[in-house]
Amino acid sequence: MEVDEPPTAGSAVVAATTGTTPGSSDPSERAGFCRPEDEVCPHCKANRYTRKDLRLFTSLCGHFLCGECLDNLFQRATIRCPTCREERRRNDYELKVFDSGHVQRDVAIRRRQLQRLNLTEKDFPTLAAYNDYLEQREDIAYNLSNDLDLVETGQRLDKLLNDYAEQIATNEARADRLRRERLQRQKLEQDAALARRRLAEQRAIQAEQRRTKERTMIMGLLERGVELKQARLQVKTELDQEERALADEAARLRQQQEADAHMETLVPREAAPLFVYQRPTRKLANGLITPPTPEIAQAFYASGATWQQALNGNVAETLLRVGGYLPEWTLKRGLQEALDGLTLD
């Protein structure tokens, strides 16, 4: 008694990619039978002779439908292909580019594979391993395009996807990031081009307005008896002053807008506690701590004073003090450096 094997993931991948049932040998399901002379919509029977603006869409199985039939038939999620009666979704159809349906189907299969099998040479330890991967990918694409060993091909495809799932996910994330950056650059370039075009149009309008205003003002001065040369000079001076004033005002407003925009983008900071100074403590891992020497410190550090003079008390107390520093600091630093060995050569 024969038992039907459950469908595998490879079979599902093959069916979704090729649009045919694994193991099917019906030649009507082959995309190669959609010849260029058969460019007729099988649903409404329209062709390029009866409808000049005919747009044909081909599915994964290689059969055609015109654009109007697609819009009319896809009121539901899926429909059956009018030729091979296989279930199809709207995104299974794409605009026909090549005359041969077989070539169109082959290109669609390879494009969908390249979206998933996006490994590069950097993902492999050696060049030989990368070449083996390219050979497997081409074998899979050829088998799917020609309906050869669909079940086994689907299993090989699933194995590749599972073995390199991490690298594929990384490459997809990188490709998505590069795509967003490219779209962002394109948008910035388009915005810059639009801004330049608007600026050129605005300058052309302003130049025309200036010429019109200049002619009007010159005619007014000529009516009052002013000579032509003097009238032109006077009008030019007045218009230049007006333009400089307008430019200065526009620059001021632009700076104000930039400052306001910068203030809006500032992130409010959380209130932090006030800084409290803590006196540093010096701890030596191996060394001595200088003992307090208040008597010596008060008698030390004056211009020309020596240790013997400070210890003997031969220098007046007023000469031992310097503004801004206490004698204790200098004395303790000298003793500490001596104990730490910092003054040794």
Q: 35 or 180: which carries more pLDDT confidence?
A: 180
66 neighbors 54 (Cβ within 8 angstroms): yes
What pLDDT, on a 0 to 100 scale, did the predictor assign at position 69?
80
pLDDT of 206 strictly over 60: yes
The tens digit of pLDDT for each residue in 106-121 reads: 777 777 766 788 888 8
Comparing CA positions, the residue from 49, 48, 68 lying closest to residue 57 is 68
The whole-number pLDDT of residue 222 equals 82
Question: According to the model, what pLDDT value does residue 249 have?
Answer: 82
Q: Percent of the chain scored above 90 by pLDDT? A: 1
Of 114-118, 122-126, 305-309, 323-327, least confident by mean pLDDT is 305-309
CA–CA distance, 234 with 241 (Å, rounded to integer): 11
Mean pLDDT of the region 219-227 = 82
The C-alpha atoms of residue 221 and residue 234 are separated, in whole angstroms, by: 9
Domains and CATH numbers, the chain: 9-163 (3.30.40.10), 171-262 (no CATH), 294-340 (no CATH)
Sign of the alpha-carbon dihedral angle for 307, 312, 315, 321: positive
3 state DSSP class of 87: strand
Give 343 or 96, the one with higher predicted confidence: 96
Q: What is the mean pLDDT of the chain?
A: 71
The band of 5, judged by pLDDT with boundaries at 50, 70 and 90, is very low
CA nearest neighbour of 144 among 27, 16, 9, 36: 16
Which of the two residues, 97 and 269, has the higher pLDDT score? 97
pLDDT at 159 over 80: yes
Residue 164 vs residue 267, higher pLDDT: 164
Mean pLDDT score, 172-185: 89
Backbone angles phi, psi at 86, to 5 degrees: -85, 150
**Whether residue 272 has pLDDT greater than 80:** no
**pLDDT of 78 over the 80 cut:** no
**To the nearest whole percent, how much of the chain has pLDDT over 70?**
65
Q: What is the pLDDT of residue 309?
A: 52
CA distances from 115 to 95, 109, 169 (A): 19, 10, 11
Q: Is residue 268 over pLDDT 70?
A: no
Contact 158, 9 (CB under 8 A): yes
Of the candidate ranges 59-68, 135-144, 216-225, the one whose mean pLDDT is the lowest: 59-68
pLDDT recorded at residue 302 = 43
248 has pLDDT over 50:
yes
DSSP H or E segment with residue 85: none
Residue 284 has pLDDT above 80, yes or no: no
pLDDT of residue 202 exceeding 60, the answer is yes
> Model's pTM, two decimal places?
0.44
**What mean pLDDT do residues 80-92 have?**
76
> Which residues on neighbouring strands pair with residue 322, listed in sequence order?
325
**Mean predicted confidence (pLDDT) in 27-49:** 59
